[in-house]
Chains A and B, each alone.
Chain A
Amino acid sequence: MHGTRILDEADRLMTVCNSCRYCEGLCAVFPAMEMRRAFSDGDLNYLANLCHSCGACYVDCQFSPPHEFNVNVPRTLAVARAESYAAYAWPQALSGAFARNGLVISIIAALSMAAFIVGFVALNDRSVLFGVHTGPGAFYRLMPHNAMAALFSAAFLYAILALVMSVRAFWRDIGTPIGGRADGGSIVQAIRDADELRYLHGGGVGCYNEDDKPTDRRKLFHHLTFYGFLLCFAATSVATLYHYLLGREAPYPWWDLPVVLGTLGGIGLVVGPIGLFVAKSRRAPELLDENSTGMDTGFIAMLFLTGATGMLLLVLRETAAMGPLLALHLGAVFALFITMPYGKFVHGIYRFVALVRYAQERRNEAGS
């Protein structure tokens, strides 16, 4: 018996699947399962996070419902995965944020954006707030650069700390020997697997969405979102270097590296989340954990808001709308940062860690 009902069900399914093994070529979950004969809580959380929810094993399974064996691996692991986010959250006192995550994220996003608007109104003269600002340092007339840097660095560092602590707990739970370290080769392999979403692929044909015809749609939109996010992050990092190393202040012209990166990333962060949202809402309900809809939508919405406000800010930065848009954009980004450890963002982190563990197990197996 396990700590939760969903882990009991996951254990039951892995016992069924381990005596069948037809799906072992589809993804990493089943080969990882085959390395075990019994499953601890940590094993099941590891398998749950290794699953990319492509749905192929459900469509291919001769024992999926209505069969009496009632094998639904994608949904069971989706529920277990969502519960694992709360189980490993740091500090544990905040794990409740995962319970009604859509609501929590919405409230924090709304409060954050409201706070920036109120702050901008309170600290700036009306003529400054709605004024037209151009040239280097235009943004900092509304909020001093140092204040911005301090606030966002603090939020970002907190998010990193919380994520590191969560990952530590996860790694300890899924690893044998406990406290073992990840080796470089496994990390490189996991980066490759994550980069190309190797296991969101139904074993080669694509993932299953609304019917039994596989497509690569979700993978494409996930790529747009993920690489969009990375490009935006790169844009911010380059801009920071410009600021401190070269003494060049934002805004930069459209052809300059931070803007080019940000524009490309912003397009990804607008198109990707829309595509993911549409794909998700069309997906066959039997593959999904309906309790996670709020969390998933909340995260997709946060990414979309970040991308959309950023793009609007870029287009309208030389008009009177710049001030309010800057407040909205900063509010969105701030909310994204502080909710990172307590929302769907963590799926990427845990899945990556699970991929590292899997690469390590494969290497150990090959070596033994």
Chain B
Amino acid sequence: MGSKYDVLVIGGGNAALCAAISARRGGASVLVLEGAPKFYRGGNTRHTRNMRCAHDAATEILTGPYTEEEFWEDLLRVTGGKTDEVLARHMIRESKDILNWIVEQGVRWQPSLGGTLSLGRTNSFFLGGGRAMLNALYLTAEQLGVEVEYDAEVTDLVIEDGMFLAARLKRPIKGETEIRAGALVAAAGGFEANIEWLKQYWGEAADNFLIRGTPYNRGSILKMLLDKGVQEVGDPTQCHAVAIDARAPKFDGGIITRHDSVVFGIVVNKHAQRFYDEGEDIWPKRYAIWGRLVAAQPDQIAYIIFDSTVVTSFMPTLFPPIAGQTVAELAGKLNLDPAALDKTITEFNAAVRPGTFDHTILDDCRTEGITPPKTHWARRIETPPYLAYPVRPGITFTYLGTRVTKEARMLMADGKPSANMFAAGEIMAGNVLGKGYAAGMGMTIGSVFGRIAGREAAKHARN
């Protein structure tokens, strides 16, 4: 027989640690099982940098108020209404106190980073980034007496009538064991790194997807829970995808492989054809559509093409642009048909109307007479060297999850609440975030519901 804890937390990111700390502060004995090795602990939290919390007044690091109502309107807008209003409003209300609570757990804030001024009022940034935040939470958890195991692969969950009894665990050295607990907090993320699972919805195209987080986000706990009768929420076929550099590693390239140069040039597919209006809207709003757009192109590859006049208009990039003194030379380096690329650029240049360029507003630089049009920020690509970034879909997270109540308690397929199973973080984000995304929301969901789940789990286990 294995050991017994009041609360078992499966997962090792922001939501899991907030749950563990909150349960421990509630008097429970707590074990955290993180499937990844210590360095890769924390799933997607490793790559985060801020959290969106409501606040009624400016703080030391936030430039102005961000009311509950405004947060709710933003959420409504990005999800297109695909959200659970009761749960979402509850989360937004609780997010106010998280700003202070998370600091009490050792996390430190800083003003918004260079190049992210648009978030200075709404989002609080972690000093040192997401891994620094995680380090602080782990340190606090350990000081409080939370036990943590790494490389801990949960192979099965023993659940009877919506009641969690035990988890079966395979340890790298000590072998198989069973861990019983009075309550379970599932905070093990989504399945974005599980290519086989993604293929169920995306087919062979998923082989060309790059995964922005660690290879450990396999969704195995999510799958077990759904298989054992927990009600699902969120569209299983959907994932958050952005266009990232095609030269990025298959996993864990994080934020630094992103490209925000789309609005400064054109985007072509492997046939050197444009396929979408690059100037549709202000960049942060359109950031997340390009992953999906590239995923729909042949071989899931595309190229952002621009010229030397705009290289300093966006953040410096990890990978340098591929350069050619002529369009033909660039096409050669990209393995594109030189004649086709030349034709696309020539036609685009001819279609550009005169205007006054301003990338901060929807300006009047647009094309006329080509399909698709570029409706803003259209300028001729004509000053060598010609430059390009190859991009592929970069998968951030998935939307499928377990349905929960306001207390973060899982609901079973028959609609009854589970006696002792709670969920927090990406594994239940779909309750609040049916689609879309706004910066920092994932961390809000993680911290708010992690804290609630830990508190409720401790309350249940100690009764």
Question: Which residue numbers of A lie inside 8 Å of B, CB to CB?
Answer: 15-16, 18-26, 31, 34, 37, 56-57, 59-63, 66-68, 203-205, 212-213
- The verdict on B315 contacting chain A, using a C-beta distance below 8 Å, is yes
A37 touches B316 (CB 8 A): yes
Chain B residues, CB < 8 A from A20:
129, 254-256
Question: Which residue numbers of B lie inside 8 Å of A, CB to CB?
Answer: 39, 46-47, 49, 108, 110-111, 113-115, 125-132, 135, 139, 249, 252, 254-256, 312, 315-318
A37 touches B318 (CB 8 A): no
Known: A56-B128, A60-B129. A22 touches B113 (CB 8 A): yes
Given contacts A25-B110, A203-B108, A205-B108, 19 further A-B contacts (CB under 8 A): A16-B318, A19-B316, A19-B317, A20-B254, A20-B255, A20-B256, A22-B49, A22-B132, A24-B110, A25-B127, A25-B128, A26-B128, A31-B114, A60-B135, A61-B129, A63-B254, A203-B127, A203-B128, A213-B139
B108 touches A62 (CB 8 A): no
A67 touches B39 (CB 8 A): yes
A24 to B315 CA separation, bound complex (whole angstroms): 14
B316 touches A60 (CB 8 A): no
A312 to B315 CA separation, bound complex (whole angstroms): 59
Task: Give min CB distance, B358 to chain A, whole Å.
Answer: 20
B128 touches A23 (CB 8 A): yes
A204 to B115 CA separation, bound complex (whole angstroms): 23
In the complex, the chain A residue whose C-beta lies closest to that of B111 is: A25
A34 touches B129 (CB 8 A): no
Chain A residues, CB < 8 A from B114:
21, 24, 31, 34
A26 touches B46 (CB 8 A): no
Residue in A16, A21, A26, A62 whose CB lies within 8 Å of B115: A21
A213 to B140 CA separation, bound complex (whole angstroms): 11
Task: Give min CB distance, B260 to chain A, whole Å.
Answer: 11
A16 to B135 CA separation, bound complex (whole angstroms): 21
Q: Which among A20, A31, A57 has the greatest number of chain B C-beta atoms within 10 A?
A: A20
In the complex, the chain B residue whose C-beta lies closest to that of A205 is: B108
B131 touches A26 (CB 8 A): no
Residue in B39, B131, B139 whose CB lies within 8 Å of A60: B131
A140 to B316 CA separation, bound complex (whole angstroms): 65
A66 to B256 CA separation, bound complex (whole angstroms): 17
B128 touches A60 (CB 8 A): yes
Chain B residues, CB < 8 A from A37:
312, 316
Chain B residues, CB < 8 A from A22:
49, 113, 126, 128-130, 132
12 inter-chain pairs at a CB distance below 8 angstroms, sorted by A residue, are: A18-B315, A19-B318, A20-B254, A20-B256, A21-B115, A22-B130, A22-B132, A61-B131, A62-B46, A62-B254, A63-B256, A205-B108
A15 touches B318 (CB 8 A): yes
Chain A residues, CB < 8 A from B132:
22, 56, 59-60
| Closest 9 pairs between A and B when the two form their complex, measured CB to CB | A22-B129, A25-B110, A60-B128, A60-B132, A19-B256, A19-B318, A62-B46, A18-B316, A20-B256
A223 to B249 CA separation, bound complex (whole angstroms): 44
In the complex, the chain B residue whose C-beta lies closest to that of A67 is: B252
Chain B residues, CB < 8 A from A213:
139
Task: Give min CB distance, A34 to chain B, whole Å.
Answer: 5
Task: Give min CB distance, A40 to chain B, whole Å.
Answer: 15
A165 to B463 CA separation, bound complex (whole angstroms): 75
Task: Give min CB distance, A53 to chain B, whole Å.
Answer: 16
A16 touches B256 (CB 8 A): yes
Chain A residues, CB < 8 A from B127:
25-26, 203-204
A61 to B316 CA separation, bound complex (whole angstroms): 18
Chain A residues, CB < 8 A from B47:
62
Residue in A59, A66, A68 whose CB lies within 8 Å of B135: A59
In the complex, the chain B residue whose C-beta lies closest to that of A25 is: B110
Task: Give min CB distance, B431 to chain A, whole Å.
Answer: 27
Q: Which among B46, B115, B125, B135 has the greatest number of chain A C-beta atoms within 10 A?
A: B135
A18 to B256 CA separation, bound complex (whole angstroms): 9
Task: Give min CB distance, B124 to chain A, whole Å.
Answer: 12
A205 to B139 CA separation, bound complex (whole angstroms): 13
B113 touches A66 (CB 8 A): no
Chain B residues, CB < 8 A from A212:
135, 139
A327 to B252 CA separation, bound complex (whole angstroms): 62
A67 to B213 CA separation, bound complex (whole angstroms): 12
A15 touches B316 (CB 8 A): yes
Task: Give min CB distance, B103 to chain A, whole Å.
Answer: 12
Q: Which among A66, A204, A205 has the greatest number of chain B C-beta atoms within 10 A?
A: A205
A60 to B318 CA separation, bound complex (whole angstroms): 19
A67 to B257 CA separation, bound complex (whole angstroms): 14
B318 touches A68 (CB 8 A): no
Task: Give min CB distance, A325 to chain B, whole Å.
Answer: 48
A68 touches B108 (CB 8 A): no
A339 to B51 CA separation, bound complex (whole angstroms): 51
In the complex, the chain B residue whose C-beta lies closest to that of A204 is: B108
Chain A residues, CB < 8 A from B315:
18-19
A330 to B39 CA separation, bound complex (whole angstroms): 51
A19 to B321 CA separation, bound complex (whole angstroms): 13
A16 to B125 CA separation, bound complex (whole angstroms): 20
A61 to B47 CA separation, bound complex (whole angstroms): 9
A37 to B315 CA separation, bound complex (whole angstroms): 9
Chain A residues, CB < 8 A from B111:
25
A205 to B135 CA separation, bound complex (whole angstroms): 12
Task: Give min CB distance, B443 to chain A, whole Å.
Answer: 14
A225 to B179 CA separation, bound complex (whole angstroms): 52
A15 to B316 CA separation, bound complex (whole angstroms): 8
A203 to B127 CA separation, bound complex (whole angstroms): 8
Chain B residues, CB < 8 A from A205:
108
Chain B residues, CB < 8 A from A21:
113-115
